[in-house]
């Protein structure tokens, strides 16, 4: 009995269940999965992955940034490498699928390719990136920056809540941080980087599609606005004379919401607000807000920012309020490679699924890998768009569909590669 696509999907499901047990939390259903970089749980999950990879005949190594890399080698002389994978780490009390699914699916794919004797003219390197979420060391995209050669040694000084540096945590994990520069891939040896990930949004579920192809990974910018008014007695200052900072802040929130709702490919939020003096009977004097804008198109995001700041200026002036503004973060959008995205779309069609192209509103390892090579992503439908939460869920059949799409994508990529 040959190993069918259904069995590949079921195998992926079983591996994912097993991987989820390597967690700081005990009750996975209630508390979710917590697995941070260079911890015991990280070591344990890599041990399990190593076992599964070796059983598939893959050669496995741990690099100096605690990335685990398993190679499914091609017999073609001078073969280049298709990089696939995702991150092993989770947010605190995260789900079973964000990250780990992108490590496990390629293993199910390789098992399938082997069962059907499908030889490829390129190596497949499956990477379990050590740290993408950056929860422990605020070191977002650590693993992928190392492979892309953009890792800054300065990052090694970052500390966790206990004061442990990234450098010492990596050493304790058996890595040699001084040799991290040796772990980068050379662009000429890599074909592309492909990541499978849950969508973390509701679009595929609403369209009743198991998978979708990603066109771009969002750009992000963040701002801090401090609105300044005048504190006063909440009972004695006449309404007409008030300079209420929180009323101004409400205008800011309304502008962000309205602008994003009225602009295609733009989302935004005021996620954090601090009000002072923050008393029940005191007119607010200063209110500080965060603003975050995201778009897959940088020009849309920048235009929105200018419009927004102008709207804020006009509204606050009308309320006789002043404000300070500082931009605190900016990350440009990364476009997925058009040829790779087109290849994935064709592979989706090959699998009998209507292709749907969408952009990623969340950051991913591809943001860093794009400095090394062409990238693209395959999204899998997740229940109600929920992620970073214990109730994160996928349908087992979608894993089967994803393995099929990846198999078709590999065959299409093989046809593009020079044969030996
Ligand atoms: Zn993720």
**Residue 165, token pair as written in the block:** 């540096």
Same domain, yes or no: 61 and 179: yes
Alpha carbon of 169 to ligand 1 centroid (Å): 22
Alpha carbon of 381 to ligand 1 centroid (Å): 14
CA distance 186 to 372: 8
387's CB contacts (< 8 A; 6+ apart) are 94, 95, 97, 98, 198, 200, 362
Alpha carbon of 128 to ligand 1 centroid (Å): 12
Same domain, yes or no: 31 and 159: yes
Same domain, yes or no: 351 and 319: no
Alpha carbon of 171 to ligand 1 centroid (Å): 25
Same domain, yes or no: 338 and 398: yes
Alpha carbon of 135 to ligand 1 centroid (Å): 12
Q: What is the DSSP letter of 165?
A: B
Contact 346, 357 (CB under 8 A): no
Alpha carbon of 352 to ligand 1 centroid (Å): 27
Residue 2: the pLDDT is 64
Q: In which residue are the tokens 């679009």 written?
A: 203
Contact 375, 335 (CB under 8 A): no
pLDDT by 10-residue block (mean), the chain, 420 residues: 84 98 95 97 98 98 98 96 98 96 98 94 98 88 96 94 97 98 98 98 97 96 97 97 98 98 97 96 98 96 98 98 95 95 98 96 95 98 95 96 97 78
Residue 420: the pLDDT is 41
CA distance 325 to 113: 55
User: What kind and span of H or E run contains 203?
Assistant: helix 203-206
Task: Name the phi and psi angles at 217, rounded to 5.
Answer: -105, 130
Same domain, yes or no: 81 and 212: yes
Q: In which residue are the tokens 């040694």 written?
A: 153
**What residues are paired with 51 via a beta bridge?**
none
Alpha carbon of 87 to ligand 1 centroid (Å): 7
Alpha carbon of 36 to ligand 1 centroid (Å): 13
CA distance 408 to 194: 13
Alpha carbon of 257 to ligand 1 centroid (Å): 26
Same domain, yes or no: 303 and 368: no
CATH number at residue 162: 3.40.630.10
Alpha carbon of 244 to ligand 1 centroid (Å): 41
Contact 351, 399 (CB under 8 A): no
Alpha carbon of 348 to ligand 1 centroid (Å): 22
Same domain, yes or no: 286 and 365: no
Q: What is the span of the domain harbouring residue 408?
A: 5-217+333-416
Alpha carbon of 378 to ligand 1 centroid (Å): 12
Alpha carbon of 102 to ligand 1 centroid (Å): 9
Select from 245, 8, 223 the least CA-distant residue to 116.
Answer: 8
**Rama region for 229: left / alpha / beta (φ>0; ψ in -120 to 50; rest):** beta
Alpha carbon of 177 to ligand 1 centroid (Å): 24
**pTM metric for this prediction:** 0.89
Alpha carbon of 212 to ligand 1 centroid (Å): 16
**What residues are paired with 198 via a beta bridge?**
380
User: What kind and span of H or E run contains 72?
Assistant: strand 68-72
CATH number at residue 307: 3.30.70.360
Alpha carbon of 385 to ligand 1 centroid (Å): 13
Provide the CA 355 distance to its chain's centre, in angstroms. 22
Residue 306: the pLDDT is 98
Alpha carbon of 127 to ligand 1 centroid (Å): 13
Same domain, yes or no: 254 and 370: no
The residue from 331, 356, 372 where one domain ends is: 331
Same domain, yes or no: 119 and 253: no
The residue from 331, 363, 390 where one domain ends is: 331
Same domain, yes or no: 54 and 182: yes
The residue from 290, 315, 331 where one domain ends is: 331
Same domain, yes or no: 285 and 350: no
Count how many domains the chain has. Answer: 2
Alpha carbon of 65 to ligand 1 centroid (Å): 18
Same domain, yes or no: 379 and 402: yes
């Amino acid at each position: 009995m040959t190993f069918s696509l259904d069995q590949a999907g079921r195998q992926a499901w079983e591996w994912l269940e097993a991987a989820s047990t390597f967690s700081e939390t005990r009750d996975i259903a209630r508390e979710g999965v917590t697995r941070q970089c260079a911890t015991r749980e990280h070591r344990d999950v890599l041990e399990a992955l190593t076992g599964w990879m070796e059983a598939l005949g893959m050669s496995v190594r741990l690099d100096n940034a605690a990335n685990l890399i398993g190679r499914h080698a091609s017999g073609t002389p001078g073969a280049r490498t298709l990089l696939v994978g995702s991150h092993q780490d989770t947010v605190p009390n995260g789900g079973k699928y964000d990250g780990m699914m992108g490590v496990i699916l390629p293993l199910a794919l390789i098992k399938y390719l082997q069962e059907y004797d499908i030889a490829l003219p390129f190596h497949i390197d499956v990477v379990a990136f050590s740290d993408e979420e950056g929860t422990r060391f605020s070191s977002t995209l650590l693993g992928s920056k190392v492979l892309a050669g953009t890792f800054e040694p300065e990052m090694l000084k970052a500390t966790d809540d206990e004061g442990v540096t990234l450098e010492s945590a990596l050493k304790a994990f058996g890595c040699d941080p001084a040799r991290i520069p040796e772990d980068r891939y050379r662009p000429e040896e890599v074909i592309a980087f492909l990541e499978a990930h849950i969508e973390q949004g509701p679009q595929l579920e609403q369209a009743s599609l198991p998978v979708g192809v990603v066109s771009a990974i969002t750009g992000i910018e963040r701002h801090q606005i401090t609105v300044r008014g005048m504190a006063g007695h909440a009972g004695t200052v006449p309404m007409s004379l008030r300079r209420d900072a929180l009323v101004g802040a409400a205008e800011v929130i309304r502008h962000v919401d309205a602008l994003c709702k009225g602009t295609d490919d733009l989302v935004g939020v005021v996620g954090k607000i601090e009000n002072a003096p923050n008393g029940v009977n005191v007119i607010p004097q200063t209110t500080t807000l965060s603003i975050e804008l995201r778009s897959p198109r940088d020009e849309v995001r920048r235009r929105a920012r200018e419009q927004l700041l102008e709207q804020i200026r006009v509204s606050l002036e009308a309320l006789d309020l002043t404000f300070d503004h500082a931009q605190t973060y900016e990350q440009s959008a990364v476009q997925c490679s058009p040829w790779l995205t087109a290849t994935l779309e064709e592979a989706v069609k090959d699998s009998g699924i209507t292709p749907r192209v969408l952009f990623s509103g969340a950051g991913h390892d591809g943001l860093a890998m794009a400095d090394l090579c062409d990238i693209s992503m395959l999204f899998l439908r997740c229940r109600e768009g929920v992620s970073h939460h214990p109730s994160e869920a996928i349908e087992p059949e979608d894993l089967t569909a994803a393995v099929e799409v990846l198999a078709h994508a590999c065959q299409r990529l093989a046809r593009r590669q020079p044969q030996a």
